[in-house]
Each structure stands twice: as C-alpha cells, then as structure tokens.
Structure 1
Amino acid sequence: MPGLETYLQEWRPEPLVETDALPAEPSRALAAVLETTAPGDELPPLWHWVHFQHWPRHGELGADGHPTHGHFLPPIPDRRRMFAGGRLTVTAPLRLGVPAERTSSLANVVVKQGRSGEMAFVTARAEYRQDGELRFVEEQDYVYRSGESSTKNPDAARPTDLPVSDAPWQQPFTGDPVRLFRFSALTANAHRIHYDAPYAREVESYPGLVVHGPLLVLLMTELARSRAPERELAGVDYRLRRPVFAGDPVLVTGSPDGDMAVRTAPDHLMATAQVTFR
C-alpha cells in the first residue's frame, strides 16, 4: 500500500465558517452528566464542545459509527482516528444565548513513523467569535493511521484500585456505560468504541468501552474550576496519553499551579493538562 504521504499531499481543505445560537439546553445537559452546576450566562472553558455539533445522515457513517467523510477528515484508506490533545487560549468566555461564529482551518499535517507503522498527525485550528470579537482560539491534535494498530491487547490487565497521590486536589472517577452514552449523545459522537462493548473488544481489540478523551479533559478542567472558584481559567494545554476504559477507577489530580492529571494505579499517567489562570 502507498505511504500516507501519497494520500495527503493534495489534501488542503479550505477554512470552514459555522454558526451556533448557543442555547442553554446543551450546557444544562452537560452539567447533569458531569454532576455539577449548570452555567449562568457564560460558557465555562471547553463546554463549547456540546455546541457547534455536526450530525451526518445515518448512511454517511462507517461501520465504526464514525463519519466516512468530513471536511477535516484526511482521505486515508481504512482510517482510524485518535484524539491526542489540544490547546485553548481564552480572551473572553462565550455568552449563552448570543449567536457565535466558528472559523475552522487546517493548521498542520505531518506524517511520522511510529512503532506500529505510519501515522498522520493533523492539527485543526478554530477561532470563536461573538459580536465580531475573538473570544478564544482552540487547536486540536489528531493522530490517524490506516488500519488497526497491532499493539492493542483486549486481555490487558486492568486497574482495580485508585492510585495513591499527594496532590492537593483530588477527585476519584469511574466511567460507566450510561455516562459514556450520554456524553456521546451530547457531543454527536457515534463512534462505537464508546457504547458498543462487543464491537470495542472484538473489532477494535480494546479490553472495554473507551472513555472519551474530551471527557477526561473536562474532568481535569472542572476540578481546577471547582477548587479555585475565585480564579478565571485563561487557557489549557492538554495531552491524552493512554486510553481509559469503563469500569477503571481513575484519580483526577491537580494543584494551584494548574498541573492537572488523570491517573490509574499503580501510577500511570493517562492524561495531563496545564491550566493557566488569570
């Protein structure tokens, strides 16, 4: 099969402009899923993930539930995607009930050779505006490969206890199928690894349902917001390092300097984030 560069050398999608009325209902639903207080007039950082949703027609989804085509989906055969991380820089929060505009563009595409083969690293950039004013800038990093990874092990050992940490901020969490299903619905994510356990195990070789990367990131930023309510989040730089599975107990940790993490026993870093405050 040709290398990934062959499929990507002519792929340069044009910027895409979208709008959203920012109704309050999706944020209220997300607050229920996260078991926290619904926002007032301003949208907390990263809560825009339940807005600007795209719902492809059912026939446009692949066997894995993911869209077969998309404006920023690279034309790679038998495409597999992993959300690797991202960055958010906040100038001002979005206000609920006020129409907002998102301008998305392709920021970077790089093909690298990994232990399990070629991978394409794609960064998408989005600028969010209200009343013509820039509110925040977001970049998201995705890793794509052609075909399934040979490094997955559906029989891998799973954590059963929480790790021990001396972090000043701590919050235990265990993902369950119901919460994952509700988060999938809120974020228009039909990927079957998050709700179809037989598919996740038998087709994608995961040991269980995969907890959404964005959910792990929100757990970290929400811990920071709850423990430092007098401080305003100005940005976050996050990295998803290893998948977390439904039923795995994790410990979300953090500190006033904004160093956040999701950990499993005995001491594995599953996700990290650096939160900055104003």
Structure 2
Amino acid sequence: MTNTPPTLGDHIAGWNPEPTVETDRLDPAQATRLARTLDLPDTFADGDALPLPWHWIYFSEWPATAALGADGHPAEGHSLPPIPDRRRMFAGSRMTSTAPLRLGVRTEKRSAITNIAEKHGRTGDLLFVTVTTTYVQDGTTLLSEEQDLVYRSDSGHTTTFERPAAELAPATAAWTAEPAPAPPTLFRYSALTSNSHRIHYDLPYASEVEGYPDLVVHGPLLATYLAELARANNGGTSLRTFSFRLQRPLFAGDRFRVEGAPGDDGIVTLQVITGDGTVHVSGKGEF
C-alpha cells in the first residue's frame, strides 16, 4: 500500500481562524519616518491625511525574538496556516478609500480570512490566502483592502534567481521615476512595517538559503513607489483606489523605473520595469 504525502490542504483541514480587531492611534511621527525613508520632504501632524498605502506602517506586530522562525517571520500566529516549514510571499493587493485616514486618530482595523485556495506552481504546492481588512475611524469605514498572501512548504529546494538587465530602455511613459533603494532603505522600511523577514537585511541568508542574488526589495515598498508616483503627479493627493500584482522580485542595487500614465477612462496604469520593459510590478488606480 502506497502512503500518499499530505498536501497543503491536508495540513490546514479544520483551520478557520476567527476575525480579529485591533486598534492603533496613527502617530504622525511614524508617517514622517516613512517620508524620510523615501527621501520625501513631507512632515506630518495630527489631523493630516495619510497617503495611500502608508497604512502598512501601523498596527505593528512585534512578537518576542524567540518566537520567530528561521526565516525571521513569526513561527506561529493566529492567521498563519499550520503548514510545515512555512514560507510566505506577498502577491498583491486591492484597496479602496472613501476618504483618507487621519493621523492622530484612534483607528480600528478589522481583518478576516475570506478565501483559501491550493494551487500548484513551479516550486511546488502553493496556498493562496486572501485577507480582507477594513479601517474604521469615528465609526466610519474609510479604507478596505484585500491582500493576497502565498504560502509554500519549504522542502529544502532552493530556486535560483537571476538579476535583471543592468540598463534601462529610454522612458516613454507620461510619469516616470527611478528610485534606488539601498540596504539602509530596506532596513528602515522593514523596521517601519515590523517585517523581520531575513531576505530584506541578512545577505548570507537571502543568498545561501533562499537563492537570491542580493537583498530583496520589499514588494509593498515597490507598490508604495507606484502610489507615490501617482500622488506626485496629482498635486499631492493620493489615489482613491489602488491595486497591484507582484510578478518578479527586485534586489538591492538593481536599476528599475517606476512608470505611470493616466487614461481617458480615469484609470491610471502603473508598473515597475527593468531592462527593455520586463514588468516586475503591475498596478492601476483611480483618483
């Protein structure tokens, strides 16, 4: 009789975490720290509007260091699927804002897992988990977001990633920028988002264990560059809706361009590219 190895679905059978509710006062000093990390001149005070998607720097999760796994992520957690040797990746997000979150205001974050799907990829079985979150101030929901997280069970196999082309084709988009996040940028963004994943600051781990050629630029940081490009070209006012999909990783030292263009239908198309147009992040939004 052949013993069939358990699938990821088998490991999470019966796993159904309850929704969570958290509260935080959106400290304007934290937003100012992110502005400095991004080399922006903004200084924030109570009552100011928080740009989209800067809400990621709030509601910090800060478990004991002893509670972290080998990759730097928490080893256990309320919303973490109970699969062996778990690795997590951020795949994308869709968000809608009816009005900006205001700094200095007590804010409620309500989160729930709304979809779970098992799929098969080139690195093995994958578990796609959608987390839906709403942000409430003074009894009114101002921001809703669906995040897609991907989990896999690390079998010890290391995937080798190659760096993108060093040169960029000439820019043709209406809006462009060329951020250059260095290791200190990645370290500071990790701290602001309470992200202790070692691929962003531990080069030996990133290269020898996970097969990356250098420190990995955070997917949410790349998405923030997209949203900031749109905000800079709209008189400092953020997008009202914003969605993005992470397609290929980027690494410290890679040259890339953030591009955007407004359409006649009111939709802003956005992307992060390298070389002759290889897309690493694709996005869109509306003002």
Q: TM-score category by the smaller chain?
A: over 0.9
Paired position in structure 2 for 1:97: 104
Alignment equivalent of 2:81, drawn from 51, 71, 74: 74
Match for 1:120 among 121, 127, 136?
A: 127
Q: 1:51: which partner in 2? A: 58
Note the residue ranges of structure 2 that are not aligned, 5 or more in a row: none
Answering whether residue 39 of structure 2 is matched by residue 35 of structure 1, we say yes
Inter-CA distance 91–148: structure 2 relative to 1 (3 Å threshold): farther
CA–CA separation in structure 1 for the residues paired with 2:238 and 2:163: 39
Residue type of the partner of 1:160?
Answer: A
Decide which moves more: 43-52 or 224-233: 224-233
1:25 aligned partner: 29
TM-score scaled by length of structure 2: 0.92
The CA distance in 1 between the partners of 2:165 and 2:136, in whole Å, is: 42
The aligned runs of 1:1-278 (5 Å cut-off) are: 1-36=5-40, 37-39=42-44, 41-147=48-154, 150=157, 152-153=159-160, 156-229=162-235, 232-257=238-263, 258-277=268-287
Q: CA deviation at 1:231?
A: 5.3
SS in 1 for 2:178: strand
Q: Distance in 2 between matches of 1:220 and 1:187?
A: 18
8 Å contact from structure 1 (residues 80, 148) kept in 2: no
Tell me the SS of whatever aligns to 1:82: strand
Q: In the alignment, is the contact (CA less than 8 A) between 1:250 and 1:263 conserved in 2?
A: yes
Number of aligned residue pairs: give it.
276
Letter in 1 for 2:106: P
Q: Which 5+ residue runs of structure 1 have no aligned equivalent?
A: none
Distance 1:32 1:88, change over 3 A: same
User: Do the aligned residues in 2 keep the contact of 1:92 with 1:135 (CA within 8 Å)?
Assistant: yes
What is the aligned-residue RMSD (CA, Å)?
1.5
SS at match of 1:129: strand
Instruction: Please list the CA deviations of residues 75-114 of structure 1 after superposition, one character each: whole Å capped at 9, or x if unmatched.
Output: 1100011100011110111111110000100010000112
- Tell me if the contact between 2:158 and 2:210 (Cα under 8 Å) persists in the aligned partners: no
**Could you tell me whether the CA contact under 8 Å between 2:57 and 2:192 is conserved in 1?**
yes
Over 3 Å counting, the alpha-carbon distance change for 1:35 and 1:103 in structure 2 is same
Helix, strand or coil at the partner of 1:242: coil
Asked whether the 8 Å contact 1:163–1:265 carries over to 2, the reply is yes
Question: What TM-score do the two structures reach when normalised by structure 1?
Answer: 0.95
- Pick closer, same or farther for the CA change 1:152–1:165 going to 2, 3 Å: farther
How far is 1:175 from its partner?
Answer: 2.1
CA distance in 1, matches of 2:117, 2:156: 19
Corresponding residue SS for 1:198: helix
Q: Which moved more, 1:266-275 or 1:12-21?
A: 266-275
Asked if the contact 1:228–1:256 (Cα under 8 Å) also holds between the matched residues in 2, the reply is no
Preserved contact between residue 128 and residue 134 of structure 1 (Cα < 8 Å): yes
- The one-letter amino acid of 1:169's match is W
Q: What is the deviation of 1:116?
A: 2.5
CA apart distance, 1:31: 0.3
